[in-house]
Amino acid sequence: MDTDGQHDAEEIPKLIAPILEGEADMVNGSRYMNGNGKNTPFYRRIGQNVLDTATNLNSGLSITDTQSGFRAFAVHTVPVFKFRSNGLAIESEMLADAMKAGLRVKEVEIGVKYDAGCSTENPVSYGKWIKYGKITTVAAMPAFNEEKYIAKTIVGCRKYVDKVIVVDDGSTDATAEIAEALGAIVIKHPENRGYGGALKTIFESAREMKADAMVIIDSDGQHDSGEIPKLLESLNNGADLVIGSRFINGNGKNVPAYRKIGMKVLDSATNFAGGIHFSDTQSGFRAYGKKAIEKIRINDTDMSAGSEILMQIKDHDLKFKEVEIHCNYDVEDTSSQNPVSHGVKVLVQILRDVELRKPLYYFTVPGIILMVVGLVMGINFIENWRSGGELPLGPTLFMIIAIQVGMISIFCGFILHSISRLLDNSKFKWDVT
């Protein structure tokens, strides 16, 4: 690669991957694949077009960037190149030698900076991503102290996506350093912002990168990155959001019993709140299409963010699907949260969402129950009083309060329901920021 700073060293894994996977003997980094190269100065582009045409005619290849100085070679190809030229013509000469030797030559898209030496822009701005060229598919993962497993997850994902994003959520170990060394885009939170905070950064970054598809996967090694194509295939078939489910088709036998019980409770609450039906609402292995990336907004900071996303499906008219995945629970549990307290926190947040989305259920139904209890108690007290008995002070006060609170709750439920219907029919959606 060139030493003038125009090439991005983080793209090295992209060049060497086809060689390591046995698909190519030589890989050419191209600035002009897929209509890229718009930031190339005009005078450079004209001259390179002439050289590309001449080189391709001479070598018999069809290369979009014959003058690229960013290339990768398998070790066994070294004797093929004779290096007869002294100047820049060596780039064209190498392609001719490769053709004569029958080497398999492949091109991959790269970015280039012609203003090398300029300061880097804000990490969550489009300038950060433009050097990677067009990014179609990304894999993203929140990470908090995952130095043991992050490398395997990144390497596994890189086979199926254009770029990997790692949000280092205030880690105190080497998570960020390992991710950067493997060529991932690392966004660092100075403090731990929780799972929801990391997801919010991921969605913002994907929108800035103008990604067409995004896979979110846990960084702790529990998910099998080899199942990414399964999720992407469903996106290609028209889905906007794809959930990797551990329980579809009667699967999930390896899920610990205490986890399964808790997740069923959260599944029921999430499905009820969002008016949807998923078998695994707490899955962290998901894929999002462009429409979902653009529309979804995250407000919750903890693990309830996963449920919050699903509750927005109807708000934004998103098409969704579930596909079967497998989960490895043999890895060390790196979570610092007690599973019981974690489940309670998520359930409480879901109930808060029910309060906003379904006030009839949250206020009116309990109000009716409370008022009926009060009325039944009142009828019994009246019958007892008519028979010559006395009205007990405590239960009588409870009866009065129950009827009054029940009536207030019923009316509140109807009023809030009317407001929510008006909001649903207007341009406003549930985005409580």
Other C-beta atoms closer than 10 Å to the C-beta of 195 total: 24
Helix 365-386 × helix 393-424 angle, to 10°: 150
Residue 191, phi then psi, degrees to nearest 5: -140, 165
Give the per-residue pLDDT at 351: 66
CB-based contacts of 365-370 (< 8 A; 24+ apart in sequence):
365/413, 366/406, 366/409, 367/405, 367/406, 367/407, 367/408, 367/409, 367/410, 367/412, 367/413, 368/406, 368/410, 369/406, 370/402, 370/403, 370/405, 370/406, 370/409
Contact of 216 with 286, CB cutoff 8 Å: yes
The predicted structure's pLDDT at residue 64: 86
The residue with tokens 């908090």 is 144
What pairs with residue 214 in β-bridges? 138, 288
Q: Report percent pLDDT > 90 for the chain.
A: 32
pLDDT band with cut points at 50, 70 and 90 for residue 119: very low
pLDDT at 132 over 50: no
d(CA 413, CA 330): 47
- If one compares 131 and 335, the residue with the highest pLDDT of the two is 335
Question: Which residue reads 């009023």 in tokens?
Answer: 415
Mean pLDDT (the chain, rounded): 81
Say what the pLDDT of residue 127 is: 39
In terms of phi and psi (left: phi > 0; alpha: psi -120 to 50; beta: otherwise), the region of 314 is: alpha
Q: Which secondary structure element, helix H or strand E, spans residue 138, and what is its range?
A: strand 137-143
pLDDT band of residue 114 (cuts 50, 70, 90) is low
d(CA 402, CA 367): 9
Superfamily holding 137-324: Spore Coat Polysaccharide Biosynthesis Protein SpsA; Chain A (3.90.550.10)
What ranges do the domains of the chain cover?
A: 9-109, 137-324, 355-431
User: What pLDDT score does 226 carry?
Assistant: 93
Q: What's residue 67's pLDDT?
A: 83
Write the DSSP symbol of residue 172: S
Closest CA to 217 of 209, 225, 207: 225
Residue length of the chain? 433
Residue 409 has pLDDT above 80, yes or no: yes
CB 67 within 8 A of CB 88: yes
Instruction: Report how far residue 11's alpha carbon sits from residue 70's, in angstroms, rounded to the nearest whole number.
Output: 10
CB 222 within 8 A of CB 157: no
Q: Which of 36, 101, 42 is nearest to 73 (CA)?
A: 101
pLDDT tens-digit profile of 29-77?
998 887 766 667 665 667 677 777 777 776 677 888 888 889 999 999 9
